[in-house]
Amino acid sequence: MKFIGDLHIHSHFSLATSKQLTPEYLDMWGKIKGIKVIGTGDFTHPGWIKELKEKIEPAEQGLYKLKKDYIVDSPIPRFNSMEYDTRFLLSAEISSIYKKNGKVRKIHSVVLAQDFETVEKIQQSLINIGGNITSDGRPILGLDAKKLLEMCLEASENIFFIPAHIWTPWFSVLGSKSGFDTIEECFEDLTPHISAIETGLSTNAPMNWMCSFLDDFTLLSNSDAHSPEKLGRNANIFNTDLSYNNICNAIKSGSPDKFLGTIDMYPQEGKYYYDGHRKCGVLLNPMETLHNNGLCPKCNRNVTVGVMNRIVQLSDREDLSNRKNRLPYHSIIPLKEIISEIVDVGPNSKTVTRQYNDIVNSLGTESEILLNLPIEEINNRAGEILAEAIQRMREQKVIISEGFDGQFGTIKVFQNGELKNRKLS
Ligand SMILES: [Zn+2]
Ligand SMILES: [Zn+2]
């Protein structure tokens, strides 16, 4: 069966995350968003594991579902139907800060596990090395990422280890500030255990195709959600039977029959896409940064370098079609952002929420609307302006302002003033 999975999120036990990151609300939002398999996040945290054990029960091999008693009524009636039920897959993100080859490295890794037994073994190993796993759902350890991988493999051969958002400047395996220049420098002889990497919110698949040294890895997209509503903003499309092993095998093989590709927000929307200085109001693309010797033309100090620049520096390929295993990728704009642009009020406003609820209730899950529903059907049931917006998004005919130096970029589908004279439906 075809389904969408988002394997890297956080729970309410992670710092600075929503209190609603509970199994109940993840299940509820998974249904609305059309995310079938949801990573639990934070499995290193004993409090979260206690809560999960209470609220979820085994379903297919290595997957869990919310117990009946905990299912909450959806504010959107359509999603109270059983056909939208979700699954949980045990996952965690771990932050490693350590010195290697003379430099401080800060690397985030995502780990998937098939059962609570494995999770508890990993927890115990982390405690044994003196790690603090109770203060943050994403623990920070002074542990070499390679050692972490080794430790997880000792807990179970069937874990799945994924370097997280690999281009983030400060916290990733290839990050410009504290990462490495290759995956091998980090994982050495254990590199064969890495079969996938996470592209992160600031890059999409084609950007990663620029680097031939990533050809051996399946490119994954996950939301890294810090609130349930952000679920699925980046995600993966699978075509397998439901089970932990099938999902991991689909990723490992990267087979275009089993792993149908990724869903990504436009990477330009990420806060570290291009280079520049937010305070100086200076935005530079990698070429301009090169011409300015890496300096801000306004204050003459080093600019904050974004992910595109880092990719260009490590890239060795101009003709992207030379990467053989290219899988489909879908660039999306979250539905609330599209509605927000149309009605010209904030995406978190009551007006947008009301329209959003009406639209998904009438048309189906958010991912179905964004990716698959015939434009004509959207036109007939939600109006021509939304239909046109979604068509433009699917065709990538959008207006982009790139994010830089901590400032989010924006993606719009209509020109300024274009909607002024059109009747809103
Ligand atoms: Zn992270
Ligand atoms: Zn400056």
Domain CATH code at residue 206: 3.20.20.140
Verify that 241 and 362 share a domain, yes or no: no
Q: How far is the CA of 166 from the centre of ligand 2 (A)?
A: 26
Residue pair 76/46 in contact by the 8 Å Cβ criterion: no
The alpha carbons of the chain give a radius of gyration, in whole angstroms, of 21
Residue range(s) defining the domain that contains residue 369 = 334-397
Verify that 210 and 347 share a domain, yes or no: no
Q: How far is the CA of 407 from the centre of ligand 1 (A)?
A: 18
Q: Please check whether residue 413 lies inside any domain of the structure.
A: no
Q: Please check whether residue 300 lies inside any domain of the structure.
A: no
Sign of CA dihedral 363, 364, 370, 374: negative
**What is the residue-wise DSSP string for 56-84?**
EEE-STT-EEE-GGGPPPPSSGGGGSGGG
Q: How far is the CA of 304 from the centre of ligand 2 (A)?
A: 9
Residue pair 95/179 in contact by the 8 Å Cβ criterion: no
Q: How far is the CA of 297 from the centre of ligand 2 (A)?
A: 7
Bridge partners (DSSP) listed for residue 389: none
Gap between the Cα atoms of 401 and 283, Å rounded: 10
Please tell me whether residue 365 adopts helix, strand or coil conformation.
coil
Ligand number nearest to the C-alpha of 296: 2
- Amino acid 399: pLDDT: 97
Q: How far is the CA of 171 from the centre of ligand 2 (A)?
A: 23
Our count of domains for the chain comes to 2
Ligand number nearest to the C-alpha of 110: 1
Residue 354, C-beta contacts closer than 8 angstroms, at least 6 positions apart: none
Give me the residue label for tokens 């203060």.
135
Q: How far is the CA of 165 from the centre of ligand 1 (A)?
A: 7
Verify that 83 and 188 share a domain, yes or no: yes
Q: Please check whether residue 309 lies inside any domain of the structure.
A: no
Verify that 27 and 156 share a domain, yes or no: yes
Verify that 260 and 368 share a domain, yes or no: no
Gap between the Cα atoms of 379 and 268, Å rounded: 28
Q: How far is the CA of 174 from the centre of ligand 2 (A)?
A: 25
Q: How far is the CA of 325 from the centre of ligand 1 (A)?
A: 26
Verify that 231 and 340 share a domain, yes or no: no
Gap between the Cα atoms of 280 and 261, Å rounded: 38
pTM across the whole model? 0.95
Q: Which two tokens stand for residue 216?
A: 């051996």
DSSP 337: H
Q: How far is the CA of 36 from the centre of ligand 1 (A)?
A: 22
Stretches where the chain sits below pLDDT 70 are 423-425
For residue 236, count other CB atoms closer than 10 A to its CB. Answer: 28
- Amino acid 257: pLDDT: 97
Q: Please check whether residue 301 lies inside any domain of the structure.
A: no
Q: Which two tokens stand for residue 146?
A: 């390679």
Q: Please check whether residue 113 lies inside any domain of the structure.
A: yes
Q: Please check whether residue 147 lies inside any domain of the structure.
A: yes
Q: How far is the CA of 22 from the centre of ligand 1 (A)?
A: 19
Residue 65, C-beta contacts closer than 8 angstroms, at least 6 positions apart: 56, 57, 59, 85, 86, 87, 88
Domain final position from 268, 283, 312: 268
- Amino acid 75: pLDDT: 95
- Amino acid 173: pLDDT: 97
- Amino acid 297: pLDDT: 96
Q: How far is the CA of 171 from the centre of ligand 1 (A)?
A: 7
Q: Please check whether residue 417 lies inside any domain of the structure.
A: no
Q: How far is the CA of 270 from the centre of ligand 1 (A)?
A: 14
Gap between the Cα atoms of 63 and 59, Å rounded: 5
Domain final position from 268, 296, 313: 268
Q: How far is the CA of 41 from the centre of ligand 1 (A)?
A: 11
Verify that 58 and 170 share a domain, yes or no: yes
Q: Please check whether residue 260 lies inside any domain of the structure.
A: yes
* First-to-last C-alpha distance (Å) of the chain: 35
Residue 299, C-beta contacts closer than 8 angstroms, at least 6 positions apart: 277, 280
- Amino acid 423: pLDDT: 57
Domain final position from 231, 249, 268: 268
For residue 346, count other CB atoms closer than 10 A to its CB. Answer: 12
Please tell me whether residue 334 adopts helix, strand or coil conformation.
coil
Q: How far is the CA of 389 from the centre of ligand 1 (A)?
A: 32
Verify that 246 and 118 share a domain, yes or no: yes
